[in-house]
Chains A and B, each alone.
Chain A
C-alpha cells in the first residue's frame, strides 16, 4: 500500500510542507465551493423557469446528487495525474477534505460564532467593524444575555418544563421500552408486536402532534366528544378538558405533551433492549431459576444488571433528545399555557422577537448541557486502541 508514513513527511523540506498544506486546504475547500457554485447556478436557472414542480423536483434531485458525485471524480482524476509523491500527499484530502470543510462551516465554526453573537445585544455584532471597535460599541453587552437567560420568567419556566421532559420523558421511554422488550421476548407474536410498537418512529413530530391533538380534541359538555380521551372521560362521568391547554394543573399539563414523545421513542429503546436481552446467556437465566428466583427477581437481579450499559446509553440518548425537544411543543401549544421549553424559547427569541443575542445565549446553554455527553464519547473513543 502506498501509505506515506508520518516520519517520512517530517523529513521533507519546509517548502514542500507549506506547499502541501496549501494544496490540501485548497482541495478541501474547493470541492464544496465549486459544487456550491454549480448547484447555485442551476438553482437560479430553475427558479427563473416556470417548469412544472414535478420536473423541478426531478432535475433538482439529479442535479444535486449527480453534481457532487461528478466533482469527486474530476478532482480525483486531477490529483491522480500528479507525480507520485504529490499524489500521496494530496489524495487523502480529496477524500476527507470536503467533509471536514462542511463540518467546519456548519457545526464547528458556528459554535464560536454563536458564542460571539451571544455577547451582543438584539442585532448581534454589527458588520464591517473590527473586533476592538465592536468590543467598545454599545451593542457589546458582555454576559448580560446569560444573566437574562437565567432570570427571565419564561426562561425559568422553560428550564422547569425541560427538566420535566428529561425526567419523565426518559424514564417512561426506558421503562416502557424495557417492559415491551421483556414481554415480546417471551411471546410468539414478538415480531408483529415489535413492528407495531416501533411504527411511530417513522412518524414526524408534526404528524404525531396531529394524531395526539385528535386524541385530546375537546368539545363542550353538551356536544358529543370526538376525541378519544374526552369520550372516555365523559363516559366515566368526568368533565371534558382541552388537556394540553389545561392551565389549572400547570405544570402537569406538560405531561400530555411528554406522552407523545414517549409514544414515539419507546420503539427505539425497545429495539435496543430487545437486542441486549438476547445477548444474555441462557445458562445465567437457567441458573437463577434453578436457585428458585421468581421472574421479578430474575428481571431485577440478572437482566437489569446485565444490560446496564445499554440502559445507560439509551437513557442518555433520550435525555439529549428531550433536551432539544421543539416540534411537538411548537405545533401543539406554541409554548402557550405554560409549556415553553428551551428550544421553543430559542426559536421565539431568535426568530420571532429577532433578539439574536438572547437566542444565541440560549443555544450556548444547550451546548453546555450536552458537553458531559460529548466528553464521555471522546473518552470512549480514546479508550479504543484501534484508531
Chain B
C-alpha cells in the first residue's frame, strides 16, 4: 500500500515536471518579446533579455588611474597582483581570489577597473519603445550620454485604428449574412435548398488563393483597390462558408416547438429570427465572432493584396512586416510593435476563451 502511494506521487511529479517543461518552452518566446519591449534601445541591442533574471555580472569595485602606478602599457604590467600585456588587460585578467582587472579606454588616457562578480538583475524598464512605436511624426530619444536624438515615430496608433476599422465590420457583416442564411437553411423550405448547402460545404476548404486574382481584377474595374470596403467584402466572402455552416449546425439544433408556438402566435420569419433565434444563438455567434475577429486582425495576405497599394490604410500586420523588412534589427521597435499588435487579440482571447474553445470543438476550421 505504501509503495503504491509513493509510485503515485512519483508519477504525479513526473507528469507535472514534464508539463512545466512544455509550458516553459511554449511561453519563453513570448516572454522574450514582452520583457524586451520595456528595455532601452541600447540594452536590447547589446545584452540578452534574460539579464532581467538574477545572474552574476562583473561590476567595478575600485578604479585606478594607470599613470599613478607608473606603468608602461607597451610591456608586461603588474596591476593588483596580476600580470599581463595591455591586450590581455583590455579583455580582463582574473586574479586567483575571484577578482578581475580590466583596462578601459586606450593606452594613454585609459583607466583600470578592479571588478568583482556580483549577483544582479537588470531591471531598468521604461515605455520609450512604446512611445516611439505609437508616436506619429517624431520622437525625441535621449542617449545614455545625455545627447538628444530625434527619430521618426512609427505611427502604430494609426495602423491600430485601421485594423480596428477593418476587423469589426469584417467580423459582424459575415455573421449577420450567415445567420440569415443559416436560419433559412434550418427552418425554411425552398427549391435548391439542398444543393445550395452542398455548395457551402464544398467551399469550406477552398483555398482563398484561388480567388485573389479574379477579385483583384473586379476591384480594379470598380476602383475599389486600397479601400476598407474592398477588404470588408473580401473577408466577408472568405469567411461566409464557415460561418453559414457553423451557425446552421447550431440553429438547426434549437428545439422545434419554441419556433412552432411563435408561428402559431402569428409571428413572421423575420420576427422569429430577430427576437428568438438570434438571442438563442449567442454562444454560436460569439464563438464564430472570436474566430473571425482573430483571423481578420491577424491576417496579412488579404490585406497585402487588397490594401497593399495604400500606405494610409496600412494595418498593424502590414506595418509590422514593413518594419521587419526595412529595419529588421531594430529590436526596440519590433518588440514593442509586436506587443501592440498582440494586445487586442490576447484580450479577446482571454476574456472569451470559453467560447473560443467551444467554437473549436464545433469544427471552426477555416479553409
The CA of A39 and the CA of B227, in the complex, are separated in Å by 11
Could you list 19 A-B pairs, sorted by A, with CB under 8 Å? A1-B260, A9-B191, A60-B169, A64-B228, A65-B169, A95-B184, A95-B188, A102-B236, A102-B240, A107-B206, A193-B23, A199-B27, A206-B298, A207-B338, A210-B338, A228-B48, A326-B301, A363-B212, A367-B210
The CA of A5 and the CA of B191, in the complex, are separated in Å by 9
A377 touching B263 in the complex, CB below 8 Å, given contacts A203-B30, A367-B210: no
Give me the interface of A with B, judged by CB distance under 8 Å: 1-6, 9, 36, 39-40, 43, 47, 53-54, 56-58, 60-61, 64-65, 68-69, 72-73, 76, 80, 91-96, 98-100, 102-103, 105-111, 113-114, 117, 124, 176, 179-180, 183-184, 186-189, 193, 195-207, 209-215, 217, 224-228, 231, 263, 266, 268, 271-272, 275, 295, 317, 320, 323-324, 326-327, 330-331, 343, 346-347, 350-351, 356, 359-360, 362-364, 366-367, 370, 373-374, 377-378, 381, 386-387
Residues of chain B within 8 A of A57, CB atoms compared: 161-162, 164-165
**How far, in Å, is B71 (CB) from chain A's closest CB?**
27
A328: nearest chain-B partner, CB-CB: B300
**How far, in Å, is A20 (CB) from chain B's closest CB?**
9
The CA of A65 and the CA of B177, in the complex, are separated in Å by 11
- The 4 A-B residue pairs whose C-beta atoms are closest, nearest first, are A106-B237, A204-B298, A64-B169, A99-B181
A64: nearest chain-B partner, CB-CB: B169
Whether A100 pairs with B199 at a CB distance below 8 angstroms is yes
Whether A80 pairs with B270 at a CB distance below 8 angstroms is yes
Q: Identify which of A40, A69, A106, A200 contacts B215 (C-beta below 8 A).
A: A106
The CA of A104 and the CA of B177, in the complex, are separated in Å by 14
Whether A53 pairs with B161 at a CB distance below 8 angstroms is yes
A204: nearest chain-B partner, CB-CB: B298
Whether A377 pairs with B331 at a CB distance below 8 angstroms is no
Whether A183 pairs with B18 at a CB distance below 8 angstroms is yes
The CA of A105 and the CA of B234, in the complex, are separated in Å by 10
**How far, in Å, is B203 (CB) from chain A's closest CB?**
5
Residues of chain A within 8 A of B204, CB atoms compared: 374, 377
State which residues 184-220 of B face A: CB under 8 Å. Answer: 184-185, 188-191, 193-194, 196-215, 218
Interface 9-residue window, one of B79-87, B94-102, B142-150, B353-361: B353-361
Residues of chain B within 8 A of A214, CB atoms compared: 29, 32-33, 36, 331, 334-335
Size class of the contact patch on chain B: 35 or more
Residues of chain A within 8 A of B180, CB atoms compared: 72, 94-96, 98-99
**How far, in Å, is B4 (CB) from chain A's closest CB?**
12
Residues of chain B within 8 A of A327, CB atoms compared: 300-301
A103 touching B19 in the complex, CB below 8 Å, given contacts A108-B199, A200-B26, A202-B349: no
Residues of chain B within 8 A of A324, CB atoms compared: 207, 209
The CA of A186 and the CA of B9, in the complex, are separated in Å by 12
Residues of chain B within 8 A of A268, CB atoms compared: 360
Whether A203 pairs with B342 at a CB distance below 8 angstroms is yes
State which residues 269-324 of B face A: CB under 8 Å. Answer: 269-270, 273, 294, 297-301, 305, 317, 320-321, 324
Whether B215 pairs with A346 at a CB distance below 8 angstroms is no
Residues of chain A within 8 A of B130, CB atoms compared: none
Give me the interface of B with A, judged by CB distance under 8 Å: 11-12, 15-16, 18-19, 22-23, 26-30, 32-33, 36, 44-50, 158, 161-162, 164-165, 168-169, 172-173, 176-178, 180-181, 183-185, 188-191, 193-194, 196-215, 218, 222, 224, 227-229, 232-234, 236-238, 240-241, 244, 252, 259-260, 263, 268-270, 273, 294, 297-301, 305, 317, 320-321, 324, 328, 331, 334-335, 337-338, 341-342, 345-346, 348-350, 353, 357, 360-361, 365, 367
A224 touching B48 in the complex, CB below 8 Å, given contacts A187-B16, A202-B349, A209-B324: yes
Whether B207 pairs with A363 at a CB distance below 8 angstroms is yes
A103: nearest chain-B partner, CB-CB: B240
Q: Identify which of B15, B206, B224, B259 contacts A187 (C-beta below 8 A).
A: B15
Q: Identify which of A94, A96, A114 contacts B210 (C-beta below 8 A).
A: A114
Would you call the interface of chain A mostly helix, strand, loop, or mixed? helix
Residues of chain B within 8 A of A117, CB atoms compared: 213-214
**How far, in Å, is B134 (CB) from chain A's closest CB?**
13
A80: nearest chain-B partner, CB-CB: B268
Whether B189 pairs with A3 at a CB distance below 8 angstroms is yes
Whether A377 pairs with B207 at a CB distance below 8 angstroms is no
Residues of chain A within 8 A of B15, CB atoms compared: 183, 186-187
Residues of chain A within 8 A of B365, CB atoms compared: 317, 320
**How far, in Å, is B263 (CB) from chain A's closest CB?**
5
Q: Identify which of B22, B28, B184, B214 contacts A92 (C-beta below 8 A).
A: B184
The CA of A204 and the CA of B301, in the complex, are separated in Å by 11
Whether A224 pairs with B47 at a CB distance below 8 angstroms is yes
The CA of A69 and the CA of B179, in the complex, are separated in Å by 11
Q: Identify which of B169, B212, B299, B346 contacts A350 (C-beta below 8 A).
A: B212
Q: Which of A96, A102, A381 has the most CB of B within 10 A?
A: A96
Residues of chain A within 8 A of B350, CB atoms compared: 195
Whether B237 pairs with A103 at a CB distance below 8 angstroms is yes
Whether A366 pairs with B165 at a CB distance below 8 angstroms is no
**How far, in Å, is A204 (CB) from chain B's closest CB?**
3
Q: Which of A91, A102, A105, A360 has the most CB of B within 10 A?
A: A102
Whether A377 pairs with B202 at a CB distance below 8 angstroms is yes
The CA of A24 and the CA of B124, in the complex, are separated in Å by 67
Whether A207 pairs with B22 at a CB distance below 8 angstroms is no
**How far, in Å, is B276 (CB) from chain A's closest CB?**
14
**How far, in Å, is B218 (CB) from chain A's closest CB?**
8
